[in-house]
Amino acid sequence: MSRDRRIILLTGLSGAGKTTATKSLEDIGFRTIDNLPFELLPALVEKIGQDPERFARVCLVLDARDGDPSHTIESVRSGAASIGVTARIIFLDARDDVLIRRFSETRHRHPLGGAVDAPRSVAEAIAAERALLSATREAADAVIDTSDLTGRELRDRLVSEALESEERVGVRLTSFGYKHGIPLEADLVFDVRSAANPHWVPELRPLDGRSKEISEYVLGDPVGAELTASILAYLRETLAAYLADGRGRLSIAIGCTGGRHRSVAIVEALAKALAPVADGAPIVVEHRDILRS
């Protein structure tokens, strides 16, 4: 397939950032087509094949207003494959509380908000949309949780996923704090809250898990060492299979209470240990909550 021509199928929850995402993709040369009726998309793919100069990079934005898009997406992907064009599904997600806040701030009506005379609450509409898009989310090549991303961070993630650049993520290791919510894009989640907590040691509390002192404290604790070894053993046995499942990426989240000490130290240790067994897949480390209290 051509690496220069591509179709991005951008979908996800209403309020998760599709409008911002389309502007970012337009900045790197994508022609965005939003809310085209599902039944017209196969014909559009044929047109893309006939006019490669005009439609070198295309972003098709899909949502739940026409129902479950999963069958249409598979049809588009098959059509794209037949004309030799790369097609990827990027799914934007966000936590319910974030989506509710965004709708409250903008005062926009949710697309699945029900009839005017019998409206659903925003929370009910979000739940209905999650159910409707569940198959599409599962099939996505990339799931991006926009809950805590800045506009620049979202743009960087989108560009990496859309262009499948050489620097794109093969394995993403994310530390997080459970009190701030589980990362929605995580394929695997490991809980390390049973490890000894440096938060309760006054001289260690101001440091974070990237420091030598915290690393030695967490990994020197028998429980912390055992947790790290167990996670590493599992990943060594399964990493190749995960990366061969067609998506070429794996998102692993390691969580402690606040996301500053234990999860950070263990992610750093895992990144070093996994590098030799990742079979060339790039490993990216992200400490989502390290600056939070």
Residue type, 195: A
Q: What is the mean pLDDT of residues 14-38?
A: 90
pLDDT single digits (tens) 189-228: 999 999 999 999 999 999 999 999 999 999 999 999 999 9
203-208, Cβ contacts within 8 angstroms, sequence gap of 24 or more: 204/261, 207/261, 208/260, 208/261, 208/264, 208/287, 208/290
Per-residue confidence band for 1, with pLDDT thresholds at 50, 70 and 90: very low
Give me the domains of the chain, ranges plus CATH numbers.
2-163 (3.40.50.300), 171-287 (no CATH)
Give the pLDDT of residue 4: 72
pTM (whole model) above 0.85: no
Torsions phi, psi for 8 (to 5 deg) = -105, 125
Per-residue confidence band for 246, with pLDDT thresholds at 50, 70 and 90: low
